[in-house]
Amino acid sequence: MCLGIPGRLVAVADEATLMMVADVSGVRRAVNVACVADGALPGLIGRWALIHVGFAMALIDEDEAERTLEALRSLGEAQEALAMMAEGDRALEGAA
């Protein structure tokens, strides 16, 4: 359930009804930012939000996104280390 996609808030459409323009890969749509607005709307320009049925439902936490990617990268490094160890084991077996 619940198709949501990251979009970048690029402009204020209507301050009174809390509408801003979101851009998803060059596709633009007016979205309601009531759920994420905390002060004047221009302050949100440039922020990434999770868009669902025409509403910005959450601001994307860039630090958390980076932390998740970092965790994925460290899995990759651990994997490489494991692969090298396995290679070493095979080399030893071959020598024996």
Partner 1 sequence: MMALRDTHVTLAHGGGGKAMRDLIASVFEPEGQEDQARLMDAALQEPGAKLAFTTDSFVVTPVEFPGGDIGKLAVCGTVNDLAVGGARPLWLSAAFIIEEGCEVALLRRIAKTMREEADRSGVRIVTGDTKVVGRGSADKVFVTTAGVGVIPPGRHLAADTIRPGDVALVNGVLGDHGAAILAARGDLALSTDLQSDCASLGHLMEAVLTAAPNARAARDATRGGLAAALNEMAQAAGVGVEIDEAALPLRPEVKGMCEILGLDPLYLANEGTLVLFVPPEEAEAALAAMRTRPEGRAAAIIGRASDQGPGRVTMRTAFGGRRIVDMLVGEQLPRIC
Partner 2 sequence: MKYVEEFRDPAAAQAVLAHIKALSDDMGLTAEQPLRIMEICGGHTHAIFRFGLDKLVPPGIEFIHGPGCPVCVLPMARVDECIEIARQPGVILTTFGDAMRVPGAKGSLMQAKAAGADIRMVYSPLDALELARRNPDRQVVFFGLGFETTTPSTALAILQAAREGLGNFTVFCNHILLPPPLRALLQDPLNMIDAFIGPGHVSMVTGTHIYDFIPADYGKPVVVAGFEPLDLLQSVLMVLRQARDGRAEVGNQYARVVPEHGNPVSLKAMAEVYEPRPSFEWRGMGEIDASGLRIRDAFRAFDAEARFAIGYGAPTAREIEEPEGCACGLVMTGRVKPTACPRYGNGCTPETPLGALMVSSEGACAAYWQYGGARALEAAE
Q: Can you give the binding site for partner 2, defined by CB under 8 A?
A: 1-6, 8, 17, 24-25, 29-30, 32, 34-36, 48, 50, 52-55, 57-58, 60-62, 64-65, 67-69, 71-73, 75-76, 78-80, 82-83
Q: From the CB of 92, what's the least distance to partner 2, in Å?
A: 20
Structure-block tokens of residue 95: 């020598």
- Tell me how many degrees the CA angle 20-36-8 measures, rounded to the nearest 5: 50
Residue of the chain from 10, 11, 12, 30 that contacts partner 1 (CB under 8 A): 30
For position 3 contacting partner 1 by CB under 8 A, the verdict is yes
Tell me the C-alpha distance between 89 and 93, whole Å: 6
What are the residues binding partner 1 (CB under 8 A)? Answer: 1-3, 5, 24-30, 51-53
